[in-house]
Chains A and B, each alone.
Chain A
Amino acid sequence: MAETEMEYRVELFNRLAQTCFNKCVDKRYKESELNMGENSCIDRCVSKYWQVNSMIGQLLSAGGRPPM
């Protein structure tokens, strides 16, 4: 039970980091620190991802069938 939850959390974090990195950070970068544009992009990306994730989780857990 706790194991599956932990796996789920780890998977969520990895996918979140991967997705937002691919979306927000330009592949040819010159410095190691996040500049402001990337920072705000990551803020928005994570917030949206989290919101969508929780919304879908609620939809899937509430009723058996996803409303199509």
Chain B
Amino acid sequence: WPAKMIQAILVFNNHGKPRLVRFYQRFPEEIQQQIVRETFHLVLKQDDNICNFLEGGSLIGGSDYKLIYRHYATLYFVFCVDSSESELGILDLIQVFVETLDKCFENVCELDLIFHMDKVHYILQEVVMGGMVLETNMNEIVAQIEAQNRLEKSEGGLSAAPARAVSAVKNINLPEIPRNINIGDLNIKVPNLSQFV
């Protein structure tokens, strides 16, 4: 059923490695991978200074769907949306999402997304729910995330302290990945959507 206003949210890096795959419509895993690959090739073909909308109709959903994406440093954030969503609005939403990530991870970089996919999902869940825009006010999103983090902390978190210690030892030579998704370099002239009064 093409019942979703946002059909899929994909985050992958410059080499097409998925960092977040969130489908709001059921696709078998291999099809999901295929869609990620094809989407990657589609956006890869685009220069950086051309428009951020792609008609990826045949990919998912059909002709009513569009790919709207933004490219930050090493990562592509791609939303597949139908015509009920405002294109410019979704561009702003991606920005809100990335800024929220930046706030929650304190200078977000690709590594954060790699090692904390679960947290990225939790953040996304406060922005988009079941394929529908849930919240656009960043302060509200961050407040809810932090409240849940506190709750998790009070419960002792997932891994007990010893496990953490062990993992710290295991931390060995990682390839260098540029820090900072570099949120500053936006030149899209869409004024931020007004905050709730």
Chains A and B bind each other: no
